Amino acid sequence: MAQSGKRVALVIGNADYRFAPPLKNADREADDVGAALERLGFDVTRAVNADLSALRGSIAAFQRGAATADAALVFYSGYALRYRGAGYLVPIDASLKDDASFEWDTLQLGQVIGALARARVSFLIVNGCADGRLDSMLRRPGGTAVSGLGEASARADALIAIATADDPAACEAGGRNGVLVDAMLAEIERAGLDARALFRRVRQVADHRSLGKQTVSVASGMSGPFHFVQDDQPAQAFRALGVDPDLAVMRGYVERYGDDPLASVVKTMLIQKEQASQRPGASAQALERWRDVMDERWSREWRERARASRRDAVEGRMSREDSDRDAEARARLLREQEALRRREAEAAAAEQRRLAEIAAAEQKRQEEERARIARAQEEQRKQDAEIAEKKRQEEVAAAEQKRQEEERARIAREQDEQRRRDAEIAEKKRQEEVAAAEQKRLADLAAVEKKRQDDEEKLRVAREREEKARLVREQEEQRRKDADLAAAEKKRQDDEEKVRIAREREEKARVVREQEEQRRKDAELAAAEKRRADQERVEKERAEREEKARMAREQEEQRKRAAEAAAAEQKRLAEAAAAEKKRQEEEAKARVAREREDQKRLAEAAAAEKKRQEEEDKQRAAREREEQRLREAEAETARRAQLAEQEAAERRKAEESRLAALANAPSSSGQAPSLQSSPVAGNAVNEARQFTATEQRLAQERLERERKARGENPEFTAPLPSETTPQISPPPSDGNAQLASVAPPAVDRPPPDPNFKADSPETIKAAQQELKRLGCYSGNINGNLNNGTKRALDAAGERLGVTASLQPMTEDGLRALRGHQEPLCAPAPTVRRPTREEAPSHRVVRPRPAPAAPRPAPQVARPTPAPSPSPAPARRPGGIQLSM
């Protein structure tokens, strides 16, 4: 398609209508669009507030210039109508009294399209508006025209964009210009953007910003891409310099493009080549540096061309899709036109009947018409007075309104710029993905290609639905984010400006450093050259001949190296293209491998989770069976203990009676016998000690089992009294003795801490440490009550039987976790229950001599018991009172 050459444009803006409400933006839109087209190389002709005669003259003059143009464009902003299937542009002096006015007072859209027919590439952009009062004029008796232009139809090597809105506020919303023009001006001067992609974006932005009130119909018959921004002329001239440019060519580049950033590079190389021409041997270094610069420039341009090629491929495919949709739109338009022709034929027949019926009353109608015209003129004068008064009132508040509109327009432009950049990033990413998919698609079979196209169509429809939903959400949040976006945009622009200034400074510093380095090297070379000249002054003649020969050889070698460099560059470009293709294929393979690995890892994780659940179910069932067995064993032990207690009580009663009888019997010396000297009393004391120790040991074991089940610390760190720790003091000298109680003291629970906070971060962190120690928790110790911590608390509470005190985490729950010493979430070990010792025998033995008085029993220090939420075990009678 044409990218440069002759470009012509006709810009029309009609705002000050005589028989219809004026439009405030149409003339400004024409000025802004014309200025943008002039910056893009178009020869622009303007027609602002043109009547029918001026409009026809402008079209005729433009047609003559467009006949030899490479690109021609017509832009129209103003009222537009559709009558009998054809579009009409309304000049400012159109009265639109009846149907005949459309043929003589307006300009057919087909005439404008015909003026573009001979240009190689043509564009027609219509921003058509309508008004309620204009519609009322069209719908009066006998009127069949409607506002708007309908759908655009595609033509060969042409692009037609038609925007229509029944509400002037919709097509003029946005500030200085309407929605369509603002969107077009924001995109048309962007380099590398194809015209079809440009108007697709314009259509999306216009639909979004007008909330669907203004529709843009785009029809394209272009066979290739067209870029409004022409190629960079300085860059083209820089590429033309080649790997070994001539000094005259470089001077011409600097003179012509001295303000271009690339001119500084050419200036530096020009100075180096001029210095090298005066010093033999330095030209090779200058040529090598120039080749590095050109290599880096060509490499960057090659990457840019590759990206442009991929982008053009994507845009071509999207254009084909648009062409398919345009074909469907044309078929739909043909059906609508056929239906319209049928309706018009029916309307014509009805009109003939109506004319025949009212022929007799024509005179009366004319009189009534004259009266109506008089009333209409009077009404028109009143309306003109009202309009003048309204205009005066509007001018009073125009300054404030203008300021507010400009502020809103500025904020809207900044927001549009941000969204445009986001859209560009998303579009670039999507284009790269589509390009990769396109390369793969070219290697697939036709059936796979058909399936991919169907999938892409579904994906596109889904993206459009998502985009519409996203736009609705953005509209809801827009008012709240306006101020934040404006501040963020300003800050971002300031940051970008700072970065740009810093980069320019760095670039200037780098050039200065290079120049300084070059001057230093030049000075060194000059000094070396002087020394060499002094040393070889005697051999000057011979050196001159050798120098001439060497210069000839160097020139030959330079020509050879230039040829080799060109061949190497071609080879390098081919290898780079192959490497890029290989890299893309490897990335595709790696992406597929990663997806498969992710699927495999997810499957393994699911299987491991299922296995872990099954293991937990088995362990839970085993624990329940073990707990049931322990409960049954404890019940049996309690029953046996009760029987043993009953038997012991009966034996104690019998023994007390027997001891009382023995104590009342006088001894041979006439003194009461001592309990310690009596064999029976001594055996009774020993048996009482053994029985009491056995009962205490069983009580302690039972208490420890209950506390271990609750996860509490053991209450005693020293062993309870047993046979080796007697608790009965030696009898007094008078022979009266009492057996002290050996029952364990009651365990008191400490008062709660008033500063303790349930479920606080410190409490949760301490609980996580205890759960990790008990093997129930494997996550991070961070004080967060997350799902992993909750599951660990549930597991620990289930094993301790105190679930209610673990969630929320209270002081009792934390004490229960700290009191459990063994791993809690490991498989439960087999518990062996101690057997109750057989009750001691109370047989009577013969008296023996009294033994020596025993030493006082050592006092065993008991540690302060740890707090426990459970009550102390019941105390059984542990002492026997003997009376002499």
- 197-232 pLDDT tens trace: 899 989 888 888 877 777 788 888 887 888 887 655
Pairing of strands 158-165, 107-108: unpaired
Q: pLDDT (tens digit, 9 = 90+) per residue, 812-829? A: 888 888 887 888 786 545
At residue 727, the pLDDT reads 45
Q: pLDDT (tens digit, 9 = 90+) per residue, 620-677? A: 999 899 888 888 888 888 888 888 888 888 888 898 888 888 877 654 444 444 444 4
- What residues make up the domain containing 814? 617-665+672-751+810-850+862-884
Whether 284 maps to a domain, the answer reads yes
Q: pLDDT (tens digit, 9 = 90+) per residue, 3-12? A: 557 899 999 9
- The dihedral over CA atoms of 675, 676, 677, 682, expressed in degrees to the nearest 10, equals 90
The residue to which tokens 């002499």 are assigned: 884
* Other beta carbons less than 10 A from residue 119's beta carbon: 24
Q: pLDDT (tens digit, 9 = 90+) per residue, 114-167? A: 999 889 999 999 998 765 445 444 444 444 444 445 455 556 778 999 887 655
Residue 45 DSSP one-character state: E
Whether 445 maps to a domain, the answer reads no
At residue 404, the pLDDT reads 86
* Residue 243 and residue 278 in one domain: yes
* Residue 327 and residue 178 in one domain: no
Residue 461 pLDDT exceeds 50: yes
Chain mean pLDDT for the chain: 76
Residue 680 pLDDT exceeds 90: no
At residue 286, the pLDDT reads 62
* Residue 172 and residue 130 in one domain: yes
334-340: long-range contacts, CB 8 A cutoff, minimum separation 24: 336/85, 337/85, 340/84, 340/85
Q: pLDDT (tens digit, 9 = 90+) per residue, 755-796? A: 777 778 888 989 889 888 988 888 889 888 888 888 888 888
* Residue 494 and residue 635 in one domain: no
Whether 285 maps to a domain, the answer reads yes
Pair 771, 793: CB distance under 8 Å: yes
The residue to which tokens 């001295």 are assigned: 258
Listing DSSP states for 608-619 in one string gives: HHHHHHHHHHHH
Whether 831 maps to a domain, the answer reads yes
At residue 593, the pLDDT reads 92
At residue 562, the pLDDT reads 86
Separation between Cα atoms, residue 187 and residue 420, nearest integer Å: 9
Q: Which of the four pLDDT bands, split at 50, 70 and 90, describes residue 91?
A: very high
Which of 406, 377, 353, 416 minimizes the C-alpha distance to 201?
416
Residues whose CB is less than 8 angstroms from the CB of residue 792 and which lie 6 or more positions away in sequence, other chains included? 768, 771, 776, 777, 779
Token pair for 480 = 């709240």
* Residue 689 and residue 831 in one domain: yes
At residue 818, the pLDDT reads 85
* Residue 689 and residue 822 in one domain: yes
Residue 685, CB-side half-sphere exposure with 13 Å CA sphere: 19
Question: Cis peptide leading into 808, omega within 30 of 0?
Answer: yes
Q: pLDDT (tens digit, 9 = 90+) per residue, 238-253? A: 767 776 777 888 888 7
Whether 301 maps to a domain, the answer reads yes
* Residue 200 and residue 276 in one domain: no
Whether 649 maps to a domain, the answer reads yes
* Residue 97 and residue 134 in one domain: yes
Residues whose CB is less than 8 angstroms from the CB of residue 547 and which lie 6 or more positions away in sequence, other chains included? 280
At residue 10, the pLDDT reads 96
How far are the Cα atoms of 113, 152, 776 from residue 43, in angstroms, in the given order?
Answer: 19, 26, 81
Pair 792, 781: CB distance under 8 Å: no
Q: Of 499, 533, 567, at which residue does a domain stop?
A: 533
List b or e across 77-98, with b for residues whose CB sees 16 or more CB atoms inside 10 angstroms. bbbbbbbeebbbbbbbbbebee
Separation between Cα atoms, residue 407 and residue 318, nearest integer Å: 37
* Residue 212 and residue 253 in one domain: no
How far are the Cα atoms of 23, 213, 413, 769 from residue 169, in angstroms, in the given order?
Answer: 9, 9, 18, 67
Q: pLDDT (tens digit, 9 = 90+) per residue, 5-54? A: 789 999 999 999 988 888 888 999 999 999 999 988 899 999 999 999 99
* Residue 211 and residue 246 in one domain: no
The number of residues making up the chain comes to: 884
At residue 31, the pLDDT reads 94
Token pair for 57 = 């003259």
At residue 62, the pLDDT reads 94
At residue 268, the pLDDT reads 81
At residue 172, the pLDDT reads 57
Pair 288, 531: CB distance under 8 Å: no
* Residue 659 and residue 746 in one domain: yes
Whether 409 maps to a domain, the answer reads no
Whether 228 maps to a domain, the answer reads no
Domain count for the chain, please give it: 4
Q: Of 319, 334, 357, at which residue does a domain stop?
A: 357
What is the greatest pairwise CA distance in the chain?
Answer: 171
CATH number at residue 56: 3.40.50.1460
* Cross-strand bridge partners of residue 44: 9
Q: Of 492, 511, 533, at which residue does a domain stop?
A: 533
End-to-end CA distance of the chain: 134
* Residue 212 and residue 282 in one domain: no
